[in-house]
Amino acid sequence: MSNQEERLNLPFVGIPSYMRSPIVQDLSTLDADLAILGIPSDEGSPWYPGARMAPRKMREMSVRYAGYGKMQKKAGYFDIETGRRFLEYEMGNGRIADCGDVDIIYTNLEATYRNITRSTSQILEAGAIPLVMGGDHAVTYGVVRAYEEPINIVHFDAHLDYRPFVHGAEYGNGSPMLKIGKLPNVGTMIQVGARGLRASVDDLERTRERGNHVITMAEYRRRGIESVTDALPANGKVYVSVDIDILDLPLVPGCASAEADGLTYEELRQTIFAIVAKNELVGFDVVEINPMLDVASNNTSLLGTQLMIETAGRAVLNPRYLARKGRSLDLSGTALASAMGN
């Protein structure tokens, strides 16, 4: 019997898989409930490049959230505001897997996007929820087109991303929602947080013609979380896409498209918590984090990482998700409501 002490694995030690999760390189063997997937592509960015480096940086940031449970001899993470642990079952039973990065074929976007869709399809076939780290926002289309079942979309973004293709730039980061809106299985689309001086009246008319709900920052300030949840069909399956520029400009120095007067982190997380409490999350992405622009403490990458972890922690409490997994939650209704929110 070995007398060697158990490793502490501080955040600056070792190879940084996402939250120290096991790495699965062959997706045909995937057995997990939550699957982390990096898509390091920013060829759709018309301004500063660098979002391709986000998956690597977010993995590095994620290990800061992985070690403290080990110090406490408990799995998952403790939320001091709710007084409970989240992802305890998933982390304690190896139900989170880091599926690495999609293979990026530079200068060949068609090939890259085939790889994105193929990897996402394999994750879905395994029954796991894809948790995706972009890349620019164009990659969301490659992910969402892998779904065959009916889904609804909630799109958090300072911009509508409904720009028509110019000069054949079909995979630009200003067009993914236009492409996603044409997929036959995509139902309701809610676009939250539009603001700034770069909006286009043509794009606004185009998205409204499809029947999409556009919730500007002004409307969100008036109506709050209900402006989103009231527009979303109850008990449906939802894909949530977060452009990090949904947050207020000072919060996201590592974002090339940041705008003033965005959401606070608390507003964003509580809105997402409300969404996944009533709707089963089938996919999630965080995009447009640019580590090459970020401050030295990597605040933008850290925020995106924390948002992904917290979203997953609430999504796995959804009753429909638990029923699909054949599990139950030992919480009263009051305690469950408290856990899902703040």
pLDDT in tens, 232-272: 998 899 999 999 999 999 999 999 999 999 999 999 999 99
Q: Is the pLDDT of residue 333 over 70?
A: no
Q: Is residue 47 one of the residues assigned to a domain?
A: yes
Q: What is the tens place of the pLDDT at every residue in 59-81?
A: 999 999 986 555 667 889 999 99
Q: Is residue 10 one of the residues assigned to a domain?
A: no
Domain count, the chain: 1
Q: Is residue 209 one of the residues assigned to a domain?
A: yes
Q: How confident is the model at residue 293 (pLDDT cuts 50, 70, 90)?
A: very high
Q: Is the pLDDT of residue 93 over 60?
A: yes
| CB neighbourhood size of 172 (10 A) | 21
The pLDDT value given to residue 342: 53
pLDDT cut 90: percent of the chain above it: 85
pTM: 0.94
The mean pLDDT value of the chain amounts to: 93
The pLDDT value given to residue 9: 80
What does DSSP say about strands 96-101 and 34-39: parallel, antiparallel, or unpaired?
parallel
Q: Is residue 12 one of the residues assigned to a domain?
A: no
Q: Is the pLDDT of residue 152 over 60?
A: yes
CATH classification at residue 186? 3.40.800.10
What is the average pLDDT across 297-301? 97
Q: Which domain holds residue 92?
A: 18-163+175-340
Place of tokens 């979380």: 225
DSSP code of 297? T
Q: Is the pLDDT of residue 334 over 70?
A: no
The pLDDT value given to residue 32: 98
What is the average pLDDT across 182-196? 97
3 state SS of 330:
coil
Query: Which strands, in side-by-side order, build the sheet including 151-156?
Result: 96-101, 34-39, 129-134, 280-287, 237-243, 151-156, 186-194, 213-216
The pLDDT value given to residue 332: 43
3 state SS of 200:
coil
What is the average pLDDT across 276-280? 97
The pLDDT value given to residue 107: 92
Q: Is residue 182 one of the residues assigned to a domain?
A: yes
Q: Is residue 4 one of the residues assigned to a domain?
A: no
Q: Is residue 2 one of the residues assigned to a domain?
A: no
Q: Is residue 169 one of the residues assigned to a domain?
A: no
The pLDDT value given to residue 317: 97
Q: Is the pLDDT of residue 1 over 60?
A: no
